[in-house]
Structure 1
Amino acid sequence: MAESLAPPFDQRVAHQMTSISSLLVAPGQHRAYDIILEEVNAFVDLFDFAYAARAYRVWTAITDLVSAPGGPGSDELCELVAREAATDWLVVDVCSRESIDAYFDRWAVRTGLTNEN
């Protein structure tokens, strides 16, 4: 059997994705932009593991809907897209690399990112 060249998967990445997603879909007055900014840096410590960099890029691309120069500057769009990404993540089978790959492939397209780990 050939050895996989993919970086190892660490459940902490899935846990952090689930944590952010749960906060984003929870009822309340919390701004999606603020939630993402408060939580996204946890992925930096996990960059050696599969999906951590992709997760970081997806969430920061979503915050760019508010803060990127030349971007739409739209809190409403950020809220909508963040909650869609969160809801989508919460149905991912975190034990299946195929399911996780499919999630990040979809959101790479949705956010205009490349398809890299």
Structure 2
Amino acid sequence: MVISGVLSVLQGVTGIARDALYGVPRKYEYRFDLTTWGWIHLVVGVALVIAGVAVLRAISWGRRAGVGIAAISLVTQFMFIPYYPLWSISVMTLDMIILWGLGRVAVT
């Protein structure tokens, strides 16, 4: 979860900096300014890192927060696919693994 968060933070910083790395689709319903997408990914990434640290420290709210934030990250990455498909699909894969892992672990 921390790795997915760090990748989202990097994606956010790149978007805020308006890097030429991202393509801008012409016809897309969820087309926002790259700076807006950058801030969205930055906030979600920081939240993922915080939830990941909470899960690693076995804090009670960590798993629930992790599931919620990973689901939000999955949706935002899906919406970001037209801008940078390879990166978004990679982070989506990590988010799916996070959701699977947090859903499988029994509470001890």
Q: Give the TM-score range, shorter chain.
A: 0.3 to 0.5
| Structure richer in helix, relative to its length | 2
Normalised by the length of structure 1, the TM-score is 0.39
